[in-house]
Amino acid sequence: MKSVALLDGGLGQEIYRRAMNVTSLLWSVAVMREQPDVVTEVHADFIRAGARTLTLNTYAATPTRLAREGLGDEIGTIHQRAFEVLERAIALTGADVDIAGCLPPLVGSYRSQPDRTFEDLKSEFDILVKLQSGADVFLIETMTNSLEAKAACAAASESGKPFGVAFRLEADGKLRSGETLAEAVEAVRASGPTAIMLNCCDPEVISQAMPELAGLYPCTGGYANAFKTVEPMAGGALVDELEARQDVSPGVYGLQVKQWLDDGAGVVGGCCEITPEHISHLADVLTGEYNLIRFSELPRG
């Protein structure tokens, strides 16, 4: 029976959606500062849904983004809080799951090539890896260019822990930087990620690209979003302006994920607007046909 690592879903968006009266460029991190119990509840719901690997709520807590909002001196406290709320959820559910450190785009999502050097980028990712050293694994997410992805992979690889890197593709099948999927995979191959994945794309984009990705790397995966478009946020707007697709039901999403698995994926889950209900449906339909495991249980190349 094939083993498949099942991640959680759109953590940040689910937290933001449940929160009351919070609007911030720091997204779900702002919620965690004011309503930490909401974050614990969302983590617990994803665990109960069947997720085997849970990501820390630190996507917006990069040094660059916190400094921009005047919260640079709180970075340690924020990361400690992220561990506390997730560990509370694990204690509440009694589950045996991985805690995944989150290494996101440093400035914001859906941007192109950063005007920074590899060394500068890596030094910032090094800070995040150190702050999240208690994690079992690392997930590098929503990468839109190979330079930032390479820097994140270099920092994660030095931790000695399993890590995966996920690229976001545009509708044309390329990264926002203009690089091809093959070029992106080649850029990070030497760092030895456990898995190379696609995330925060439309499900249909992942379905189209998965056969190619599976031919480029031994362990691959995907976790899509269900936004109508991300362009307002790419231009600097708040996530509040983004709309969810109503046609990506748990059943519809499950069919897409099954296609990715048929095409060779070994890691699946969900990104923005993929809810605990989606993950619960995935766990139900995959159990029996696949052995659902934690990310740390995947073979390391």
At 246-259, the pLDDT tens digits run 788 999 999 999 99
Annotated binding site for Zn(2+): 200, 271-272
Tens digit of each residue's pLDDT (9 = 90 or more) over 206-218: 999 999 999 999 9
Tokens representing 193?
A: 């990620």
Which pLDDT band, with edges at 50, 70 and 90, does 293 fall under? very high
* 224, amino acid identity: A
| DSSP-derived 3-state class of residue 137 | strand
Instruction: Give the Cβ contact number of residue 170 at 10 Å.
Output: 16
* 235, amino acid identity: G
What is the C-alpha separation between 34 and 38, in angstroms, rounded?
Answer: 9
- DSSP codes, 193-241: -SEEEEESS-HHHHHHHHHHHHHH-SSEEEE---BS--HHHHTT--GGG
| DSSP-derived 3-state class of residue 267 | strand
Structural domain boundaries enclosing 254: 3-297
What is the C-alpha separation between 131 and 66, in angstroms, rounded?
Answer: 14
What pLDDT is recorded for position 5? 98
Tens digit of each residue's pLDDT (9 = 90 or more) over 52-87: 999 999 999 999 999 999 999 999 999 999 999 999
33-45 as b/e: b if 16+ CB within 10 A: bebbebbbbbbbb
68 phi and psi angles, rounded to 5 deg: -65, -30
What pLDDT is recorded for position 240? 56
User: Which stretch of 29-38, 54-63, 230-239 has the lowest confidence by average pLDDT?
Assistant: 230-239
Angle of helix 250-262 versus helix 203-216 axis, rounded to 10: 20
The number of folded domains in the chain is 1
CB-side exposure of 53: number of CA atoms within 13 Å? Answer: 27
pLDDT at 39 over 50: yes
pLDDT at 110 over 70: yes
pLDDT at 261 over 60: yes
What pLDDT is recorded for position 21? 74
In the beta sheet, which residues pair with residue 99? Answer: 54
Reference 166, options 113, 148, 236; nearest CA is 148
Read off the CATH number of the domain in which 100 is found. 3.20.20.330
Which pLDDT band, with edges at 50, 70 and 90, does 239 fall under? low
Sheet with 98-103, edge to edge strand ranges: 53-55, 98-103, 137-143, 163-167, 195-199, 220-223, 267-268, 3-6, 291-293
What pLDDT is recorded for position 245? 59
What pLDDT is recorded for position 301? 67
What is the C-alpha separation between 37 and 50, in angstroms, rounded?
Answer: 20
DSSP 20: S
What is the C-alpha separation between 37 and 58, in angstroms, rounded?
Answer: 15
pLDDT at 38 over 90: yes
Q: Are strands 291-293 and 53-55 parallel, antiparallel or unpaired?
A: unpaired
Q: Are strands 267-268 and 137-143 parallel, antiparallel or unpaired?
A: unpaired
| DSSP-derived 3-state class of residue 48 | helix
Contact between residue 96 and residue 61 where contact means Cβ atoms under 8 Å apart: no
User: Residue 123: CB partners within 8 Å, gap ≥ 6?
Assistant: none
* 2, amino acid identity: K
pLDDT at 232 over 60: no
Contact between residue 226 and residue 272 where contact means Cβ atoms under 8 Å apart: yes
Annotated binding site: 200, 271-272
Tokens representing 135?
A: 């994690």
